[in-house]
Structure 1
């Protein structure tokens, strides 16, 4: 039986990212080694059909109250890390010097 290749995640919890397609800033709070939502969610929400066998990220959206689930292919590092606003921010992270964020606990 062939074993699936696991791709190493490019981003870790606490990384500020920007969505390549939609432009919003986000903060990663959890990482899945591969897609873990339902096939129905993928069909409805993942309109660009990114690979399911690569890392997917749970992301706090800056200035909003919701979170998103995003394929690695749709994210890039964002150098603008200051003044991040989300209601779950203080529950999930502690602010560090230089605008970095340290996870309060391992979610996954």
Structure 2
């Protein structure tokens, strides 16, 4: 088993598609269906590494991304997504803090 490189609240960028986002959940390994993997994971990333659920900046989309396809976000700016307030309490200038707003 490999260890998660990223944590909930971290800002990331997709290595292949270039979009920015924030991680809101981490799976130790791929947990979706084989059908989803065959249809969506065109680069065939490893299933036995961590996978992340990401809220995509500037949209209402959530993605499921393999660890090898993520890199650090260099902008360090807030993410615009309708579910941010549902998942995170605040943004501290570098990352999001999990939990409901006070």
Q: Distance in 1 between matches of 2:73 and 2:58?
A: 15
Query: Alignment RMSD, CA only?
Result: 1.2
TM-score between the two structures when normalised by the length of structure 2: 0.93
Cα distance, 1:79 vs. partner?
2.5
Q: How many residues of Structure 1 are paired with residues of Structure 2 in the alignment?
A: 100
Q: How does 1:20-99 map to 2 (within 5 A)?
A: 20-99=15-94
The runs of at least 4 consecutive aligned structure 1 residues that moved more than 6 Å come to none
- Residue of structure 2 in register with 1:3 after alignment: none
Larger radius of gyration: 1
Going from structure 1 to structure 2, the CA distance change for 1:95 and 1:79 (only over 3 Å counts) comes to: farther
Q: Which runs of 5+ in 2 are unaligned?
A: none
TM-score between the two structures when normalised by the length of structure 1: 0.88
